[in-house]
A and B are shown apart, each in its own frame.
Chain A
Amino acid sequence: MSSRKDIDLNELILCPKCNALHKKVQLESDGAAVCRDCDTILYRYRKRALEHSLALSLAGMMLLIVANLFPLVKIDLMGMERHVSIVSMISSLINDGFYIVGIVVSFLVLIFPFMIIVVYTILVTLLMTGAKYNLSRELLVLLSKILPWSMLEIYLVSILVALVKLMGLVEIHFGFSFWALMIFVILDIYLSKSIHIGELWELRERSYRGDR
């Protein structure tokens, strides 16, 4: 076994799923490095990754704002109309006395998603300009801690499940915000699930070294 000093840890990667050890290789064109044991994607070749991430996170921020401005769904029962948005849903939980459910849900579908998209946008801007080395580290640490707690994609599925339960009872109309939320979820899956947090750290290292 070679001495530990000869090994550059930055060249190694452990599979996030099965923990198999790999040596990183330079990817040439549109490809992905996959784990030799379980075929999980380790990282991808990304051309202009930072520019794309910035564009998508700005778009995501606007979509998330729109998704919270208008009703998600409207129902109509014998002339009586009701509509719901994320905020009105949380406030009616609180009003009914379900404080714990209300607070937990507000973090999972409102506060954390907003935090993630804002942190992401600031972070990518910092990496592009190469400024604030320490701040970008702190933002990345924060990002990795809140990522598992954003559940908007699950919330989107839940809306559909809830509507199926109401089908037949009432008339259902999708609001403008529903479509905004749907597109946001697709962007979010790309930004926070497809791009691994380790890849962002590598982009950070490369950007402060000056070779992008």
Chain B
Amino acid sequence: MEIDENSLVRCRVCEAVNWDSDIYCHRCESKVYIDNRGSINRAWAFLVTALIFYIPANVYPILVGEQFGNSSSNTIAGGIYLLWEEGEYPIAVVILVASVLVPILKFIMLIYLLINANLNRRAKINPHKVHYLTEIIGPWSMVDVFVVAILTGLVQMTAISIIAGPGATAFVLMVLFTMFAALSIDTRILKGVE
């Protein structure tokens, strides 16, 4: 095909192919022209906010349990360690991947994309693939928050009760802001034009 891929953009709303110079998508009429500098800065702002929330999310307990009057609280890392000690290896691995590896991987990938966008160079690893991956794996970091929510709703008895910890709020906000950051990046930025 004699058309240059770089002169085309995919509409992020309806996936239609548009010319780079178009302002509105010819199919869904959403804006396809986006101010690059503005959306790079916005993505950085969301990412830095997420990084800030990542600290309390790991320092503060995500789960507080009370059993016969004794209260015990667990951070994310503490919970994984406890599961491992108890021999629940598969669950420990699921939580490790969802709550530790996925957020870290997502931070690294977004920083990689944004640094390349800032330096105006084309990333060595296909940036579209990296971005696609961040959007696929991102939501899975919510597993731990959902687990805490389910346990909070379920275990409310006189002998044993479980409530969420302040770390859960920070973790939810961290996931939310990394998703906002990923959504602020569009194909135009990934191509590193201008």
The answer to whether B163 touches A96, judged by C-beta atoms less than 8 angstroms apart, is yes
Q: Mostly helix, strand, loop or mixed at chain A's interface?
A: helix
Task: Flag if B150 contacts A158 (CB, 8 Å).
Answer: yes
B96-137 CB mask vs A (1 if < 8 Å, else 0) is 000000000000000000000000000000101100100100
> Which residues on the A side are within 8 Å of B5 (C-beta)?
14, 19-21
Question: Which among A140, A154, A159 has the highest number of chain B CB atoms within 10 Å?
Answer: A154
- Number of B positions contacting A (CB below 8 A): 60
Chain A residue at minimal CB-CB distance from B151: A162
B23 within 8 A of A: no
Would A148 and B139 be within 8 Å (CB), given that A14-B8, A93-B164 are in contact? yes
Interface size on A, residues (CB 8 A): 64
Closest B-chain residue to A7, C-beta based? B3
| Contacting pair B26 A201 (CB below 8 A) | no
- Interface-forming stretch among A45-53, A58-66, A75-83? A75-83
Residues of chain A lying within 8 A (CB to CB) of residue B145? 101, 105
A118 CB–B CB distance under 8 Å: no
Residues of chain B within 8 A (CB-CB) of A84 are 150, 153-154
List chain A positions with a Cβ less than 8 A from chain B.
Answer: 1-2, 4, 7, 9-10, 12-21, 23, 38, 73, 75, 77-78, 80, 82-84, 88-90, 92-93, 96, 98, 100-101, 104-105, 108-109, 137, 140-141, 144-145, 148-149, 151, 154-155, 157-159, 161-162, 164-166, 169-170, 196-198, 201, 205
Please list 9 pairs of residues, one from A and one from B, whose beta carbons are closer than 8 Å in the complex, sorted by A's number.
Answer: A14-B5, A14-B187, A19-B190, A20-B5, A82-B155, A105-B146, A162-B150, A165-B147, A166-B151
